[in-house]
Amino acid sequence: MRNLKVMMAFRGTNYHGYQKQENALTVQEVVESAVSKILNIPTRIYGCSRTDTGVHAEQFCFSFNTEREIPVKNFVRGINGYLPDDISVLSCEEVPPDFHARYSCRGKTYLYKIHSSESKNPFMTDLALHYRRELNIPLIQEASKHFIGTHDFASFCSNCSEKQSTIRTIYDITIEKNESFVLMLVKGDGFLYNMVRILVGTLLDVSEGRIDVSKLDDILKARDRKCAGRTAPAHGLYLHEVFYDELSKEM
C-alpha cells in the first residue's frame, strides 16, 4: 500500500469550505471525485485543515492510500485534467505509511488580504477584503505583538467546545502595505475555528479606535468571544503554507 502526499491550491469562492458536506459543494468532494477517476477506484482523501466557505488556499495538503502504481508525475498531470479551473494540484510524492496530512502537520501560515482603497478593485472581488478606510499600520503592528506567543485564544474562537483546548502558539505576525494592499501573515502551531478572521477583525477595530491596544491582554484573559472584535469576512483569508518539518519561528 502506498501513501501519497499531495499539495494543491484552490480558490474557495464556489465552495462551502474543504470538508465534504451532504447538501453543499466542497473542495473535498470535487477532489475525491477526480482522484477516484484517476485511480479507477473510490478513494478517500484526508486534508490538512478545514476551511470556511469562501476561504482560499495557496498551499493545501491532502494524503491518501492506494495500491495503484501510477507514477507521481503522471498523477499530477492526470488529475489536473479532471479538476475545474479553480483547483490545481501542485505536487505529489510518496511518503512513509505513518504520514497523515492533518495529524503530521507541525504548523500553518495564514494570509489575509485587504484592499485598502476608496475605490473597489473589480479584479479582486472575492479575493480580498475591500476596506475603504485608511489603516493605521504602525498601530496594528504594535497591537499584533500582544498575540505572539502561547496564549488561551478562547476569546478568538467561534463555537468552541468547553472540552476543546483553546491554547495555541503564534510564532509571528507580519503586516505589510504594498501600494493599496495590506497583507497580514499569521504563523502558528494551529488555529481555532475562525481564529485568524477574529484576530484580523480585532486589529481592524484597533485601527478604527473601537478597541484600545491596552485592552488586548484583558481580552485574551477574558476567554469570552464577546470581548474580541469583529470576524473579518472569509474571502480575504488564504491558507498560505503548511509545515511538516521542524517549524521555524520566523517567517
What beta strand segments (E) does the chain contain? 2-10, 46-47, 56-66, 87-95, 107-116, 129-131, 149-152, 167-178, 181-188, 237-243
Mean pLDDT over 228-233 rounds to 97
| Distance of alpha carbon 42 from alpha carbon 39, whole angstroms | 8
How many separate domains does the chain show?
Answer: 2
Contact 201, 155 (CB under 8 A): no
> Which residues form the catalytic set?
52
Residues 123 and 228 in one domain: yes
- Which CATH number do you get for residue 46? 3.30.70.580
Last residue of a domain, one of 30, 61, 95: 95
Residue 38's alpha-carbon distances to 18, 65, 92, 228, 241, in angstroms, are 20, 13, 14, 46, 26
In a domain, 249, yes or no: no
Contact 114, 176 (CB under 8 A): no
Q: At what angle do helices 137-144 and 195-207 cross, to 10 degrees?
A: 130
Question: What 3-state DSSP class applies to 108?
Answer: strand
Residues 81 and 52 in one domain: yes
For 225, phi and psi rounded to 5 degrees? Answer: -55, -30
Q: Tell me the pLDDT tens digit for each residue of 178-187.
A: 999 999 999 9
In a domain, 102, yes or no: no
| Burial status of residue 2 (CB atoms within 10 A of its CB: 0-12, 13-18, 19 or more) | middle
In a domain, 251, yes or no: no
In a domain, 101, yes or no: no
Residue 110 has pLDDT above 50, yes or no: yes
Residue 21: its pLDDT value, please? 92
- Give the residue ranges of DSSP H helices in the chain: 27-39, 72-82, 137-144, 195-207, 216-222
Last residue of a domain, one of 50, 72, 95: 95
Residue 159: its pLDDT value, please? 82
Residue 161: its pLDDT value, please? 72
Q: Out of 49-53, 77-81, 196-200, 244-248, which region has the weakest mean confidence (pLDDT)?
A: 244-248
With vertex at residue 56, the alpha carbon angle to CA 55 and CA 58, rounded to the nearest 5 degrees, is 150
Q: Tell me the pLDDT tens digit for each residue of 132-178.
A: 989 999 999 999 999 999 999 999 999 887 778 999 999 999 999 99
Residue 203's alpha-carbon distances to 3, 113, 143, 173, 186, in angstroms, are 41, 13, 7, 12, 12
Residues 14 and 76 in one domain: yes
CA dihedral 165, 171, 173, 174 (to 10 degrees): -160
Residues 121 and 214 in one domain: yes
Residue 164: its pLDDT value, please? 82
Q: State the residue range of the domain holding 76.
A: 2-95
Last residue of a domain, one of 61, 95, 129: 95
Residues 60 and 161 in one domain: no
Provide the mean pLDDT of the chain: 94
pTM beyond 0.85, yes or no:
yes
Residue 247: its pLDDT value, please? 52
Please choose, from the candidates 93, 86, 95, the residue with its C-alpha nearest in 3D space to the C-alpha of residue 72: 93
Residues 175 and 238 in one domain: yes
| Distance of alpha carbon 133 from alpha carbon 109, whole angstroms | 26
Residue 246: its pLDDT value, please? 61
Residue 245: its pLDDT value, please? 83
> Which residue did the predictor score with more confidence, 188 or 246?
188
Residues 75 and 143 in one domain: no
Residue 248 has pLDDT above 80, yes or no: no
In a domain, 141, yes or no: yes
Residue 207 has pLDDT above 50, yes or no: yes
In a domain, 68, yes or no: yes
Residue 107 has pLDDT above 50, yes or no: yes
Residues 198 and 143 in one domain: yes
In a domain, 155, yes or no: yes
Using pLDDT thresholds of 50, 70 and 90, give the confidence band for residue 26.
very high
Q: How many CB atoms lie within 10 A of CB 227?
A: 18
Q: How many CB atoms lie within 10 A of CB 80?
A: 16
- Which CATH number do you get for residue 149? 3.30.70.660
Mean pLDDT over 77-85 rounds to 97
